[in-house]
Chains A and B, each alone.
Chain A
Amino acid sequence: MSPEARPALVARGVSRRFGHRVVVRDVSLEVGGGDTLLLVGHNGAGKTTLIRLLAGLLKPTKGSVTCSGVLGMVAHNSMLYDALTARENLSFYGSLYGRAAVQRSDELLERMGLAPHGDRRVATFSRGMVQRLAIARALLPDPNLLLLDEPLTGLDDAASGTVRDVLTDLRAQDCAVIIATHQLVELVDLASAVGFLVAGRLVAVEPIEDRDATAVMVRYRELAAGA
């Protein structure tokens, strides 16, 4: 991010507690246009909760999240209606964002390789097709900030390649992307930085230099051991 550019997302001292359990602790981060931040952490480290906090779906117990511009999100759950067709799902969500988003539906179905299945109900889709449609849904508003929680779950190699192409295009379009994932090998080369989440704490955000997933995991273990 250039120094004068306005960050797409700023989180300041964000914490979230569920009952007595603090799931996210004092997380601060900034992501600018064109940046791709990978969030890594063990199961239960708070990745999903942090993504939901950044998306505004959860209110922080402490701290604040400021998002400038349009937000798209892919979560664990597809946010799609099984009884509607792929096209109807996109048309419905598009209508929440405006006419331009509705008009983008067909283009996104095409881009995600789902155009031949546009009139099929989502209930009949495979896991991978649902995931691709969920990504198309997230891209409807033409976001300048995209949050993805395990975006490659259930995708075969070809579909993973499509998603990686989409992410590469988004970076070129100056879209800020935050990805919570375990699949470092597939995504590490797309990232500009990696955030290490240990027990709800973002212990470090470091630029990725050698694009090596193993090196990232080694670094994670070092940080987790020291935390």
Chain B
Amino acid sequence: MPSSFWTVAWAVAAKDLKIEWRTKTAFASSIVFAVLVLAVFYFARDPTAVAALDVAPGALWVTFTFAAMLGLNRAFLLERENRALDGILLAPVPRSAVFLGKLVGNLAFVAVVEFVSLPLFVLFYDLAIWRQLPTLIGVMAMATVAFVSVGTLLSSMVVRTRFAELMLPILLLPFLIPPVVGAVQLTSRVLAERPLSDLVGWLKLLASFDIIFVALCFFLFEATLEE
């Protein structure tokens, strides 16, 4: 009996995470990058002239997006080694299940990078965020789903190009602008302890990006696999 959609998606995600756990290449580079960016932003700020709250949301999302990009690059590059993607495509499995598996693997990877970076961010900017933490995590989750879904799709597209590592940021950055702007706006409001009514508009926008990006990526994934 052929494997179900969910079995295939889980197998792909588990395989990706197992390989990353073994090699830790993308994780190590993403964390080092995140620490570096947070440190640079910290030392670049003059605390007497610029309040932490003014610069912290931007610093946080620059860190998250670029650190995540290193992992997204890796997601399909490991399928390029030995043309393992061909082995997956030979199997009679729904391509959307492969995409879901890749997406879940990437989301798990980016989530770990974000949760390691977040305490450093709190430390560098001396922020008391315990009360806002659940809302902040919600915002992080929504924005991450949007940019990771597009990143997963684009990394599958560029993996066969000669300069895949270079192409991904070039193609991905324009798509990142809407969700990252939304995430920065929301983070800034969350950290300033603004009421929920101030967040609703941006939350709706971010939710719309999530729905549109995820649906489009599922729809377009099969086309990106064609040589």
Contact = CB atoms under 8 A, between A and B. Distances in A.
A128 to B, nearest CB: 15
Given A78-B82, A96-B8, A59 B226 contact: yes
Contacts of B2: 97-98
A56 B209 CA distance: 34
A79 B83 contact: yes
Contact of A95 (B11, B87, B90): B11
Nearest to B15: A92
Given A83-B22, A97-B3, A98-B1, A57 B78 contact: no
B125 to A, nearest CB: 37
B87 A137 contact: yes
Given A58-B227, A79-B87, A80-B84, A96 B19 contact: no
A79 B3 contact: no
A157 to B, nearest CB: 25
Interface stretch (A69-77, A173-181, A184-192): A69-77
A30 B78 CA distance: 35
B90 A100 contact: no
B177 interface: no
A72 B87 CA distance: 9
A58 B84 CA distance: 15
A46 B89 CA distance: 21
Interface string A127-167: 00000000001000100000000000000000000000000
Given A57-B89, A81-B15, A84-B18, A95 B82 contact: no
A77 to B, nearest CB: 4
B93 to A, nearest CB: 5
A188 to B, nearest CB: 27
Contacts of A6: none
A98 to B, nearest CB: 5
Taking each of A57, A95, A96, A100, which has the highest tally of chain B beta carbons within 10 Å of its own beta carbon?
A: A96
B91 interface: yes
B19 A81 contact: yes
Interface string B55-79: 0000000000000000000000010
B8 A95 contact: yes
A75 B8 contact: no
A219 interface: no
A96 B91 contact: yes
Contacts of B161: none
A57 B227 contact: yes
A96 B8 CA distance: 6
A98 B227 contact: no
A97 B19 contact: no
A88 interface: yes
29 contacts: A56-B89, A57-B86, A57-B89, A57-B90, A70-B92, A71-B90, A75-B83, A75-B86, A77-B83, A77-B86, A79-B82, A79-B86, A79-B87, A79-B90, A81-B15, A81-B78, A82-B81, A82-B82, A92-B11, A93-B91, A95-B7, A95-B8, A96-B11, A96-B88, A96-B93, A97-B2, A98-B1, A98-B3, A141-B91
8 shortest interchain CB distances as A-B pairs:
A79-B87, A96-B91, A77-B83, A95-B11, A83-B19, A83-B22, A77-B82, A78-B82
Given A95-B7, A95-B11, A96-B11, 15 more contacts: A57-B86, A71-B90, A79-B84, A80-B82, A80-B84, A81-B82, A81-B84, A82-B82, A83-B78, A84-B15, A88-B15, A92-B11, A95-B3, A97-B91, A98-B2
Interface of A: 55-59, 70-73, 75, 77-84, 88, 92-93, 95-100, 121, 137, 141
